[in-house]
Amino acid sequence: MPFSGNSTYVSVDEAKAHLRLTGTTWDDQIRQTLPGLCEMADMLTGRDQGTTLGCGFNTHGSTYRYYLAEDRRGIQLPEWPIQSVVGLTLGDTALKASEFRLFGREGFIQFTTTDGVPVSHSGKLDVTVVAGYPTVPSSVALGVLRCLSYIKQRADEEGLGAELLGPQQTTWRAIVSSGRLELHDIMFSHVGGFELDYLTTLEQGEVR
């Protein structure tokens, strides 16, 4: 799946500073490699599902439709964090901001009366939210940078285009595409705590 974020999680300048590189010799290699590493971070955390579920760690809009067969006091969205609720419609009725409470860090919306008392609802529910992080978490950016360090080390030791990398793999980006388990392990050690739970989606409703 193509990289789903609007931008990479670290800039070329940040990557060069981490790698202690100067000048512009490696700019193209870094620029071509960063999207693949960011896609890896998305895939390992389940945040790579297009324009609705996930869409990377960046701020983005998501819309969900649920069919609540029985009364529930709230809905657990399949992604987090949630910055704000843009719209919440039960059947054909738009709920007021005073009729629900958002727990943004957990991605949970609680139904309430206008007085803030918990209440239950059932039926069709449409939810539109602004999700993701205003600033990409530092551990995610560090995961990208550490993977970039690994790639540079492998390229320096093995030589770009060396037999170990394969005759067609002549760029840093190709090392990412080769699917090395070491890269996945490095990345997951930094982003694993951000993994989304797909069972929530399967149990509660249909993502639209």
Q: Is the pLDDT of residue 31 over 80?
A: yes
Pairing verdict, β 82-90 and 74-76: unpaired
CA distance to 44, 80, 98, 187, per residue, from 193 (Å): 10, 12, 32, 11
Confidence band for 202, pLDDT divided at 50, 70 and 90: very low
Predicted confidence at residue 199, as pLDDT, reads 52
Predicted confidence at residue 164, as pLDDT, reads 38
Predicted confidence at residue 200, as pLDDT, reads 52
Residues pairing with 61 in the sheet: 130
First-last CA distance in the chain: 18
> Above pLDDT 90, what percent of the chain?
54
Q: Which residues contact 28 (CB under 8 A, 6 or more apart)?
A: none
For the chain, the domains span 12-52+135-194, 60-132
pLDDT in tens, 56-109: 898 888 889 999 988 999 999 988 999 999 999 999 999 999 999 999 999 999
Q: Is the pLDDT of residue 16 over 50?
A: yes
Q: Is the pLDDT of residue 53 over 90?
A: no
pLDDT in tens, 138-175: 999 999 999 999 988 887 776 654 333 343 345 666 66
Q: Model-level pTM greater than 0.85? A: no
Rounded CA gap, 78 and 93, in Å? 23
pLDDT in tens, 5-14: 445 899 999 9
